[in-house]
């Protein structure tokens, strides 16, 4: 973990706001994931944080990638573009899944020459893929329980059990190769039973499809949702992994390739924000600090990711419950209303916020003329 002293030194050198990425932590999280899930090939979900240097670090340690747009694909392609074309095609075939169930036609057409692995969950998508990317290998996304997830996805994506078999054979009859099944239990999932139920459903569908005569499905994508340790309420990843391994070994044949799409788990703890207090006031009897970063920038996860970030001061002293505001003129720019911080902080003092690597700077803007935080690779 990057120390407070190092964070202060970086702020002195580069100014604020800063978004500091700890690449040793990235490598450690990736290693933890693959060690605890030995049957599972990790496809980093680029959307969690598409910073090119993060992608480069994970590429170098052997990660595969889940992309949801052509921009994310190109962020990964950058690191194989100088290879011979046959080698490029094979690497993409083996290491990239285009896991957005609803895809742009233009993206499908660009990727078709690579015989991409893509997800689908409805009839219209089958028609689109047939027209734009007939070389695709398709993966049916199932609708599974998202109970206990910080971000629920099942209302937007996924085919029910009753729909699944018909959709698979509709895709086969349309001339597509159905490679397997996928599911997503929701982001930052705390109900581990979601994974168990989803694996059981996938095993049942594999069995039903094979009984009906189709034997080309050899892949299971168990999605993302693996929880980052934001606080002590999050159970250890090793506990979840043990339960997943048990179900995979019990229900999923050894010849089926198993992949996953960890994003938050890989990158959340690798990011730290450093900001400066630019204002201080008492509003309705409550101490308020204003900083040079906010929800339109590094703290966008407050709005888009249902996430609550916390602050550490570099000074010590008597504390009280404070509100922390971002710098813009918008009343929405409230980072936290319940931060326990020293009451004697002054303009120019620094605050840090750890575990902010996922779904934060990825959605920052230049709203109100304030630039996003400077990204520092460490």
The 10s digit of each residue's pLDDT in 78-95 is 999 999 999 999 999 999
- The counts of H helices and E strands in the chain are 12, 18
Give the CATH number, domain containing residue 216: 3.20.20.10
| Residue 155: C-alpha distances to residues 49, 233, 332 (Å) | 24, 26, 26
CB 269 within 8 A of CB 309: no
Using CB atoms within 10 Å of the CB of residue 79, give its burial: 0 to 12 exposed, 13 to 18 middle, 19+ buried. Answer: middle
Residues marked as catalytic: 329
Give the domain-ending residue among 267, 294, 328.
267
How many domains does the structure of the chain reveal?
2
Residues 10 and 54 in one domain: no
pLDDT of residue 304: 84
Query: What is the residue whose two structure tokens read 């090793």?
Result: 238
pLDDT of residue 225: 87
pLDDT confidence band for 208 (50 / 70 / 90): very high
**Angstrom distance (rounded) from CA 125 to CA 132:** 10
Residues 280 and 170 in one domain: no
Rounded to an integer, the average pLDDT of 176-205 is 90
Residues 27 and 81 in one domain: yes
Residues 60 and 178 in one domain: yes
pLDDT confidence band for 377 (50 / 70 / 90): confident
Give the CATH number, domain containing residue 346: 2.40.37.10
- % of the chain at pLDDT higher than 90: 80
pLDDT of residue 170: 97
Residues 337 and 255 in one domain: no
pLDDT confidence band for 233 (50 / 70 / 90): confident
Q: Locate 86 and state its tokens.
A: 């046959």
Q: Tell me the β-bridge partners of 200.
A: none
pLDDT confidence band for 374 (50 / 70 / 90): confident
Residues 95 and 203 in one domain: yes
CB 296 within 8 A of CB 328: yes
pLDDT higher than 80, residue 362? no
Q: Which helix (H) or strand (E) holds 165?
A: helix 161-173
Q: What is the mean pLDDT of the chain?
A: 92
pLDDT of residue 88: 94
CB 332 within 8 A of CB 304: no
Residues 202 and 248 in one domain: yes
pLDDT of residue 366: 65
Residues 190 and 305 in one domain: no
- DSSP per-residue codes, 51-117: -HHHHHHHHHTT-EEEESSHHHHHHHHTTTTTS-HHHHHHHHHHHEEE--SS--HHHHHHHGGG--E
For residue 127, which of 68, 179, 180, 173 has the smallest C-alpha distance? 173
Residues 118 and 228 in one domain: yes
pLDDT higher than 70, residue 145? no
pLDDT higher than 90, residue 352? yes
- DSSP per-residue codes, 294-328: -TTTGGGHHHHS------EESS-S-EEEEEEE-SS
Residues 142 and 196 in one domain: yes
**Angstrom distance (rounded) from CA 262 to CA 244:** 14
Give the domain-ending residue among 267, 293, 317.
267
User: Number of C-alpha atoms within 13 angstroms, CB side, residue 239?
Assistant: 9
- For residues 36, 219, 194 and 141, what is the CA-based torsion angle, rounded to 10 degrees? 140
Rounded to an integer, the average pLDDT of 295-305 is 90
pLDDT higher than 80, residue 147? no
Residues 80 and 188 in one domain: yes
pLDDT of residue 1: 76
Rounded to an integer, the average pLDDT of 234-242 is 93
Residues 260 and 287 in one domain: no
pLDDT of residue 373: 83
**Angstrom distance (rounded) from CA 274 to CA 293:** 9
Q: With the C-alpha atoms ordered 109, 110, 112, 118, is the resulting torsion angle positive or negative?
A: negative
Query: Domain containing 298: what range?
Result: 4-19+269-377
Give the domain-ending residue among 243, 267, 291.
267
CB 91 within 8 A of CB 114: no
């Amino acid at each position: 973990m990057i120390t407070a002293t190092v964070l202060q030194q970086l702020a002195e050198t580069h100014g604020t706001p800063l978004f500091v990425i700890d690449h040793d932590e990235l490598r450690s999280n990736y290693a933890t994931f693959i060690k605890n899930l030995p049957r599972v090939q990790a496809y980093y979900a680029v959307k969690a944080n598409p910073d090119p240097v993060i992608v480069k670090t994970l590429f170098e340690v052997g990660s595969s990638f889940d992309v949801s747009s052509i921009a994310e694909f190109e962020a990964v392609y950058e690191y194989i573009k100088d290879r011979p074309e046959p080698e490029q095609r094979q690497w993409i075939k083996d290491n990239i899944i285009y896991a957005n169930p609803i895809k742009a036609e233009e993206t499908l057409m660009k990727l078709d020459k690579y015989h991409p692995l893509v997800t689908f969950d409805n009839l219209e998508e089958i028609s689109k893929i047939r027209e734009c990317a007939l070389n695709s290998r398709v993966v049916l996304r199932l609708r599974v329980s998202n109970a206990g997830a910080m971000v629920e996805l099942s209302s937007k994506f996924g085919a029910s059990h009753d729909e699944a078999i018909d959709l698979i054979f509709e895709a086969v009859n349309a001339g597509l190769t159905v490679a397997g099944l996928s599911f997503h239990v929701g982001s930052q999932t705390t109900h581990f039973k979601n994974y168990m139920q989803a694996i059981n459903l996938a095993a049942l569908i594999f069995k039903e499809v094979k009984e009906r005569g189709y034997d080309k499905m050899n892949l299971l994508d168990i999605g993302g949702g693996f929880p980052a340790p934001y606080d002590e309420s999050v159970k250890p990843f090793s506990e979840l992994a043990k339960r997943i391994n048990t179900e995979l070994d019990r229900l999923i044949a050894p010849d089926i390739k198993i992949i996953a799409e960890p994003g938050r788990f890989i990158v959340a703890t690798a990011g730290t924000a450093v900001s400066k207090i630019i204002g201080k006031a008492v509003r309705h009897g409550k101490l308020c600090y204003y900083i040079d970063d906010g929800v339109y920038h590094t703290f966008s996860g407050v709005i888009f990711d249902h996430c609550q970030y916390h602050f550490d001061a570099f000074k010590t002293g008597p504390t009280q419950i404070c509100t922390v505001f971002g710098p813009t003129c918008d009343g929405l720019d409230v980072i936290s209303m319940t931060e326990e911080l020293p009451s004697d902080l002054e303009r120019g003092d620094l605050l840090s916020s750890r575990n902010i690597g996922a779904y934060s700077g990825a959605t920052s803007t230049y709203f109100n003329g304030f630039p996003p935080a400077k990204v520092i690779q460490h």
